[in-house]
């Protein structure tokens, strides 16, 4: 049993900076592969037509909700498992793992119903260009109806991460993403005698990649993650656990939904100018993922470390972990800022841009990227609040940034008649987010101090 606990015990013993890197680097690498997949997917589709590229942008808000439902559930699961292991409560950890499988199936049913009955109306509400509608509708229906695989993949990744087995989580994501990248041209262009399916082909490749990732992840978990066994008797709805999962994870889900609403409204605002502006907005999200995904990887490593040490009542380790998290996150964001400012033409060039796309895209990347100056701190602050049972704080910041600041600013700036003015709404919103994030992080840490002052730290056996 002692040997089985090595991976989780290191979260209470290893130096924090090294521990966070050890936990985060595999996830950063896997997320960079995910980012590469997103970019390659769009590169392939852009070579079919700009309408296909715009179609992916229109499908993105709904697809983002789909992913957000899984990752938000995963945040709650990962936090509860880490805390249970920190308390040495093996039975509770196993019950959480079983409940996570049950919730994955529930998420799939919900999203599949949307894909069957709501995907078409969702796309039609954003554009009146029939070719773009058809491309987007076919893509969205496929990825939603077959979303079971993405939920199972996210679930098993979080279970592996919760016990410190981040390398196996990395390989799960990487194998699925690489499978997707390899299959894309076969289904999009019709290689090897397959029919050329365009955006529908990109969706098919995505689903197959997710299925492969889920299968590999479960194989890793069953054979190697012996600290957290999944038993059939535990794959059922534990009301208490479900309530706890979503008390932690629901704000994260809601934040993703708010983000999707923001993307949806931005598509409408930009579409009033030209569909090319919508394509630029979609390309921005693909490129920025190379810098935001690593920060999310840092957060995925940070949350279980904070959760474990919160359960073990080791507040100094929590403080040091947060400091390292902010440092590492800001390094990635400053790198992104430099590249967006210095070589925006090169970044856009891989998407086969028209002259119109370059004329809109270059100022867009330069202006939006100014928000990177503050984004790293804000993201880490939000994840820290989630790990310390202050998820509502992160939710409030997300609402402030996107609903109160970003969309109203974008709408007002669009009234100038110049699409390039709209991009200033991003740094404006991030400045407001910075102030709120700093305030709520301070509040969460004060609450942690009060809670942990009531008892001694739990020593590792």
For CA atoms 252, 277, 144, 199, the dihedral sign is negative
Q: What is the pLDDT of residue 189?
A: 95
In whole angstroms, give the CA distance from residue 75 to residue 387: 9
Q: What are the boundaries of each domain within the chain?
A: 3-452
Reply yes or no on whether the pLDDT at 130 is more than 50: yes
CB-CB contact of 159 with 181 (8 Å): no
Q: Which of 33-37, 233-237, 263-267 has the lowest mean pLDDT?
A: 33-37
Q: Pull the structure tokens for residue 341.
A: 């400012």
Q: What is the pLDDT of residue 7?
A: 53
Question: How does pLDDT run across 358-400, given as a tens digit for each residue?
Answer: 999 999 999 999 999 999 999 999 989 888 878 788 888 888 9
Beta strands in 8-47 (DSSP E): none
In whole angstroms, give the CA distance from residue 382 to residue 254: 13
Altogether, the residues listed in the chain come to a count of: 461
Q: What is the pLDDT of residue 456?
A: 55
Question: How does pLDDT run across 87-129, given as a tens digit for each residue?
Answer: 778 888 888 989 999 999 999 999 999 999 999 999 999 998 9
The owner of tokens 């995505």 is: 206
Reply yes or no on whether the pLDDT at 146 is more than 80: yes
Reply yes or no on whether the pLDDT at 321 is more than 50: yes
User: What percentage of the chain's residues is helix, strand, coil (to nearest 5)?
Assistant: 85, 0, 15
Q: What is the pLDDT of residue 418?
A: 96
Q: What is the pLDDT of residue 9?
A: 63
Reply yes or no on whether the pLDDT at 28 is more than 80: yes
Provide, rounded to the nearest whole percent, the portion of the chain with pLDDT above 90: 59
Reply yes or no on whether the pLDDT at 225 is more than 80: yes
Average pLDDT estimate for 15-23: 84
Residue 435 DSSP SS3: helix
368, 369, 372, 375: CA torsion to nearest 10: 20
In whole angstroms, give the CA distance from residue 284 to residue 279: 9
pTM for the whole structure: 0.81
Reply yes or no on whether the pLDDT at 306 is more than 90: no
CB-CB contact of 277 with 271 (8 Å): yes
Q: Pull the structure tokens for residue 440.
A: 């709520």
Mean pLDDT, the chain, as a whole number?
A: 89
Alpha helices in 47-145 (DSSP H): 50-86, 90-117, 119-124, 130-145
């Amino acid at each position: 049993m002692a040997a089985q606990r090595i991976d989780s015990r290191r979260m209470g013993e290893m130096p924090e900076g090294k521990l966070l890197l050890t936990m985060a680097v595999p996830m950063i690498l896997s997320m960079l592969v995910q980012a590469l997949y997103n970019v390659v997917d769009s590169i392939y589709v852009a070579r079919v037509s700009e309408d296909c590229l715009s179609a992916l942008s229109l499908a993105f808000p709904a697809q983002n909700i789909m992913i957000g439902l899984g990752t938000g559930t995963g945040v709650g699961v990962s936090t509860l498992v880490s805390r249970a292991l920190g308390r040495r409560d093996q039975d509770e950890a196993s019950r959480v793992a079983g409940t996570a499988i049950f919730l994955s199936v529930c998420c799939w049913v919900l999203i599949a119903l949307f894909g069957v009955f709501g995907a078409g109306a969702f796309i039609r509400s954003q554009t009146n260009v029939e070719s773009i509608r058809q491309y987007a509708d076919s893509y969205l229906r496929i990825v939603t109806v077959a979303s079971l695989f993405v939920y199972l993949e996210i679930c098993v990744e979080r279970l592996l991460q919760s016990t410190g087995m981040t390398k196996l989580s990395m390989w799960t994501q990487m194998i699925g993403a690489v499978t997707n990248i390899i299959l894309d041209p076969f289904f999009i262009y019709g290689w090897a005698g397959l029919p050329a399916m365009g955006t529908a082909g990109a969706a098919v490749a995505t689903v197959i990649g997710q299925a492969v990732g889920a299968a590999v992840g479960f194989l890793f978990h069953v054979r190697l993650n012996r600290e957290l066994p999944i038993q059939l008797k535990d794959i059922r709805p534990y009301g208490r656990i479900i309530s706890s999962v979503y008390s932690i994870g629901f704000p994260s889900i809601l934040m993703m939904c708010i983000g999707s609403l923001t993307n949806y409204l931005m598509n409408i605002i930009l579409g009033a100018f030209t569909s090319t502006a919508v394509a630029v907005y979609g390309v921005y999200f693909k490129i920025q993922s190379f810098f935001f995904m690593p920060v999310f990887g840092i957060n995925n490593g940070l949350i279980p470390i904070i959760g474990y040490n919160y359960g073990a009542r080791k507040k100094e380790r929590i403080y040091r972990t947060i400091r390292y998290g902010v440092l590492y996150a800001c390094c990635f964001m400053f790198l992104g800022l430099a590249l967006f400012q210095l070589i925006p033409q090169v970044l856009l060039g891989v998407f086969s841009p028209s002259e119109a796309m370059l004329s809109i895209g270059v100022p867009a990347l330069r202006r939006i990227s100014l928000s990177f100056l503050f984004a790293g701190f804000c993201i880490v602050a939000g994840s820290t609040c989630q790990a310390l049972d202050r998820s509502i704080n992160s939710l409030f910041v997300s609402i402030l940034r996107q609903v109160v600041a970003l969309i109203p600013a974008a709408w007002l700036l669009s009234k100038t008649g110049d699409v390039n003015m709209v991009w200033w709404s991003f740094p404006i919103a991030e400045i407001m987010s910075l102030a709120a994030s700093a305030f709520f992080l301070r509040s969460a840490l004060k609450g942690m101090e009060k809670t942990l002052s009531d008892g001694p730290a739990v020593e590792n056996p």
